[in-house]
């Protein structure tokens, strides 16, 4: 039982149930039990037997009847016998005449009167003109609690009341933990704007202090990430101008240089283009991570878009000695930014073409699953270690530094794909395929065809 709520619930429930049971035991020890139907008959029979004894003692004229009939224990019944309001046997009991008359008039020949003492009158079966009256201590109004006849009701009352109290207390005591857990889940999902201190009002001081510390941590992380995004964006912008000037200078030097240095200039040009492309990807990633909504949305034919990207990727794959094939095709549409989705799909396909083995084919399938479209891209490459399947969508993450750099990757493409899909309300994931290779799945919400 790992749930704090269940632990609190069971602990409080058992504690209160044991307390109720202990109360019942103490009550049973402190008060005489109320007679059940069987015990009531036995009690009435006891009164009759004692009355018979008192009558026998009085009829025989034996001396010392009071001593013989005196109760052994203060809680024992003291019995007197009356006929027509006159004492026949035993010691007179205050108020007994009225109770004896009530018993004669009662249909069952029994009458009970409770005042300072409890009087019970029984009409004797051998002589209906005689009524025996017994006096005893007044029973507690709560004595029903320990009666065997009411055991099911008592158990039901204990379980119901203690259960309700335990549920309320358990929910109240575990509420701060639920609030903190919900906040950490939102933070893990990327929502650093969550704050919990205000929702913990009324909690204990330790929990409230933990909530405030958590708020400060979230604020600090949010500031650091915002600073990082701003730095990344600013640096990328600032690098664009020197690169532009470098390209201009390169063209000027190329015109005045001998032909034998042309390969070196070509290499410089390729590297500057690569650097310029990386800067563009950094700016795109920074814009996506800023959390701003898409500037423009439109209805997109996803199948048509995938076919275009596959056609472009197939041309690049031919240069590498491999191919790209579109298998399952399902027409579907969604609302979003077409250029952003194009880049997201293109990054996955180009990554697959880059790492698939020569002579193999990258398989692309577009299918409909409920209210979402699933685009699966499978290559025939070496795959990715299981521990790194989620990390490949992080910026600049490389599974194999040497292999990734040799393949020309920047480590930003899949991060852009991840952010673009999230911006469209979808999700992206990767898994190693049976038989080798990596399968990247893009799941995007689509509009109804009707």
User: What mean pLDDT comes out for the span 359-379?
Assistant: 90
What pLDDT, in 10s, does the model give residues 194-227?
A: 888 888 877 777 778 888 888 888 888 888 877 7
Annotated catalytic residue 237: yes
* pLDDT over 70 at 417, yes or no: yes
Q: Between 66 and 89, whose confidence is greater?
A: 89
Catalytic residue of the set 237, 402, 418, 424: 237
What pLDDT, in 10s, does the model give residues 424-439?
A: 888 999 999 888 889 9
**Domains and their CATH numbers in the chain:** 35-138 (3.30.450), 192-292 (1.10.287.130), 298-445 (3.30.565.10)
User: Phi and psi (nearest 5°) for 446?
Assistant: -120, 160
Per mean pLDDT, which range of 156-170, 183-197, 397-411, 416-430 is the poorest?
397-411
User: According to the model, what pLDDT value does residue 108 have?
Assistant: 66
């Amino acid at each position: 039982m790992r749930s704090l709520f269940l632990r609190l619930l069971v602990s409080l429930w058992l504690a209160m149930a044991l307390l109720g049971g202990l109360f019942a035991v103490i009550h049973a020890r402190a008060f005489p039990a109320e007679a059940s139907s069987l015990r009531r008959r036995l009690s009435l029979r006891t009164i009759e037997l004692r009355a018979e004894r008192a009558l026998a003692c009085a009829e025989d004229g034996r001396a010392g009847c009071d001593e013989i009939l005196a109760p052994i224990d203060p809680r024992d019944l003291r019995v007197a016998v009356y006929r027509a309001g006159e004492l026949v046997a035993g010691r007179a009991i205050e108020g007994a005449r009225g109770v004896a008359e009530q018993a004669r008039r009662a249909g069952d020949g029994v009458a009970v009167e409770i005042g300072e003492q409890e009087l019970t009158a029984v009409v004797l079966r051998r002589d209906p003109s005689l009524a025996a009256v017994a006096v005893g201590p007044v029973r507690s109004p709560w004595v029903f609690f320990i009666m065997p006849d009411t055991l099911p009701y008592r158990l039901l009352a204990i379980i119901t009341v203690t259960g309700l109290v335990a549920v309320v207390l358990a929910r109240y005591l575990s509420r701060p933990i639920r609030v903190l857990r919900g906040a950490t889940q939102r933070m893990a999902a990327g929502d650093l704007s969550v704050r919990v201190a205000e929702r913990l009002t009324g909690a204990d001081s330790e929990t409230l202090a933990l909530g405030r510390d958590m708020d400060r941590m979230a604020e600090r992380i949010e500031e650091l990430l915002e600073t990082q995004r701003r730095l990344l964006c600013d640096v990328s912008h600032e690098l664009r101008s020197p690169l532009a000037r470098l390209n201009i200078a390169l063209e000027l030097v190329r015109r005045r240089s001998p032909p034998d240095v042309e390969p070196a200039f070509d290499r410089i040009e390729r590297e500057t283009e690569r650097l310029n492309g990386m800067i563009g990807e950094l700016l795109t990633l920074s814009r996506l991570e800023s959390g701003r909504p898409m500037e423009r949305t439109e209805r997109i034919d996803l199948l048509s878009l995938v076919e275009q990207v596959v056609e472009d990727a197939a041309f690049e794959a031919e240069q590498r000695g491999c191919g790209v094939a579109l298998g399952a095709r399902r027409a579907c549409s969604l609302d979003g930014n077409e250029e952003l989705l194009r880049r997201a799909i293109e990054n996955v396909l180009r990554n697959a073409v880059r790492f698939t083995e020569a002579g193999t084919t990258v398989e692309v399938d577009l299918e409909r699953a409920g209210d979402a479209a699933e685009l699966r891209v499978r290559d025939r490459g070496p795959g990715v270690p299981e521990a790194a399947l989620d990390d490949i969508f992080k910026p600049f993450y490389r599974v194999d530094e040497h292999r990734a750099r040799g393949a020309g990757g920047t480590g930003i493409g899949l991060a852009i794909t991840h952010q673009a899909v999230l911006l469209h309300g979808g999700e992206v994931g990767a898994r190693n395929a049976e038989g080798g290779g990596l399968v990247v799945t893009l799941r995007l919400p689509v509009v109804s065809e009707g």
